[in-house]
Structures are given as structure tokens and as C-alpha cells.
Amino acid sequence: MKQFKHHKHIFFDLDNTLWDFSGNSRRILAEMYLEFNLSAKGITDFEAFHTQYKFRNEQLWNAYRLGEISREEVRLNRFLISLRAFEVYDHGVASDMAEQYLIHTKKQTELIPHTIETLEYLQTKYQLHIITNGFEEVQHFKLKNCGIEKYFKTVTTAEEARSLKPDIKIFQTA
């Protein structure tokens, strides 16, 4: 790998760059599908539920990045809307799922392949940092539980910077 002589810092995103968001999320949703007995509520196909959730989650995150909705709306509505797509109109279940999803997320440790090797190599040459739009209360747990927290000099969250990537303010804060 060619070393950039004038660069001393490297900034990473966390989700789907280092931490395997897609794989970890799928595992969480599979556990929650069983935990909340969604098949008994009429959602008989986990794959269909997972596809619906991914689609709605991405839509809501895009709206959040554009400042159209709050993070709380993302948290709840990704489940509320996904459940409604299967004619499950239970706000309480959606709310409980939103809460449990964040709890389960903190415990997931699957990284993108070669993350540790890459960080080991880069830390000897650069100062490493994280800039993330992910929810602050889970991002630090992800880093710690995956054993990669030690590689980063700073972790800048969108909530801390009061701006979301790609807004320049989050990069200036970092």
C-alpha cells in the first residue's frame, strides 16, 4: 500500500465499512422475528420481512440525512411501516422492536473481512478516526465490543457534530 506522505489522518465510516451492518442487522432481525413471534402475527416469511425492513430503513435513513425526519422517527417507523406492510397494526410491538433492535445492535461483533488486519497496518502509519451518522448510543458499544475501539484516536458522531454526512460541518468537527 502506497503511503501518502502529506496525510497523517485517515477517517472511516463505521457501518458497512468496518462493522458489518448488513450481516449484523440480518442476524438481529432473524432473532427478533422469532422473539416477537411474527409468524403468528401473519408474517410467515422472514425473507419477505427482512426485504421490507431493509427497503423501509433505507428510505427513512435517506429522509433523516436530508433533515426531513428525526432519528426517533427512523427508529420507530422502520418497524411500524414494515409491520404495516404485512397488515400488522400494532404500535406497541413496533415500539418494542425498535427498542430491542438497539439493544441487540450493541452486542453484534461481526466485522467486514480484513478489518483488523487493515487497522493494524494503518495504525502504525496514520492516526485513525471514525465519522458516523449512526446512533451515538450504539456506535461506541459496537467499537468496544468488536475490539476495534483501541485503533481510533477520535469518534465523531452526527449527534455530537449536530450535522450528518455529507455536510461539511461534521468533517470540520472531526
Can you give the residue range of the structural domain that contains 158?
Answer: 9-19+111-173
CATH (domain of 86): 1.10.150.240
Mark whether 98 and 119 lie in a shared domain: no
- For residue range 28-61, what is the model confidence (pLDDT) as tens digits? 999 999 999 999 999 999 999 999 999 999 999 9
Residue 4 covered by a domain: no
Lookup: cell for 32: 427478533
Pick the last residue of a domain from 53, 84, 107. 107
- Name the residue type at position 42: G
Residue 24 grid coordinates: 449484523
Amino acid at 98: A
Number of Cβ within a 10 Å radius of residue 150: 10
| Spatial CA neighbour of 134 closest among 157, 151, 113, 115 | 157
Sheet holding 9-12, edge to edge: 9-12, 127-132, 152-157
Tell whether 45 is covered by a domain.
yes
Q: Which of 74, 107, 140 corresponds to the end of one domain?
A: 107
Into how many domains does the chain fold? Answer: 2
Q: If 0-12 CB within 10 Å is exposed, 13-18 middle and 19+ buried, where does residue 87 land?
A: exposed
Are residues 115 and 103 part of one domain? no
Least confident of 19-33, 103-117, 132-146: 132-146
Q: Which pLDDT value is given to residue 70?
A: 93
What is the per-residue pLDDT for 150? 97
pLDDT tens, residue by residue, 88-127: 999 999 999 999 999 999 999 999 999 999 999 999 999 9
Rounded-to-integer distance, Cα 48 and Cα 144, Å: 32
Of all residues in the chain, the percent with pLDDT exceeding 70 is 95
Q: Are residues 103 and 118 in the same domain?
A: no
Residue 66 near residue 57, CB atoms below 8 Å = no
**Which grid cell sits at 86?**
404485512
